[in-house]
Amino acid sequence: MTDTPTGGPREPGIQWYDGEAGPLVRPYAMTGGRTQPGPSGVSFDLIALVTLDPAAPAMDDDTVLGPEHRALIGLCRLETQSVAELAAGADLPVGVVRVLLGDLLDLGRVTVSRPVPPAHLPDERVLREVIEGLRAL
Partner 1 sequence: MVSESDAAADTSALALKILVAGGFGVGKTTLVGAVSEIRPLRTEELLSEAGQSVDDTDGVDRKVTTTVAMDFGRITIRSGLSLYLFGTPGQDRFWFLWDELSQGALGAVVLADTRRLEDCFPAVDYFEHRRIPFVVAVNCFPGARGYGAHDVSRALDLDHGTPVVLCDARERDSGKEVLIRLVEYAGRMHTARLLDSVS
Which lies closer to partner 1 via its Cβ, residue 64 or residue 128?
A: 128
The answer to whether 15 contacts partner 1 (rule: CB under 8 A) is no
Question: Residue 10: CA atoms inside 13 Å, Cβ hemisphere, count?
Answer: 14
> Rule CB under 8 A: is residue 48 a binding residue for partner 1?
yes
Cα 48 vs. chain centroid, distance in angstroms?
A: 10
Query: Residue 115 — φ and ψ, nearest 5°?
Result: -65, 160
Give every CB contact of residue 17 below 8 A, 6+ residues apart in sequence. Answer: 6, 23, 24
Crossing angle (nearest 10°) for helices 67-78 and 94-106: 80
Number of Cβ atoms within 10 Å of the Cβ of 53: 16
**Among residues 51, 57, 74, 108, which is the contact residue for partner 1, using CB under 8 A?**
51
Instruction: Please identify, using beta-carbon distances, which residue of 64 and 94 lies nearer to partner 1.
Output: 94
33 is an interface residue for partner 1 by CB under 8 A: no
Residue 71 sits in the site that holds partner 1 (CB under 8 A): no
- 126 makes contact with partner 1 (CB under 8 A): yes
Strand order in the sheet with 81-82: 81-82, 49-52, 110-112
Residues in contact with partner 1, total (CB under 8 A)? 52
Q: How far is the CB of 116 from partner 1 (least distance, A)?
A: 4
Binding site for partner 1 (CB under 8 A): 1-2, 4-5, 10, 12, 16, 21, 24-25, 27-28, 45-49, 51, 80, 82, 84-85, 87-89, 93-96, 111-118, 120-127, 129-131, 133-135, 137
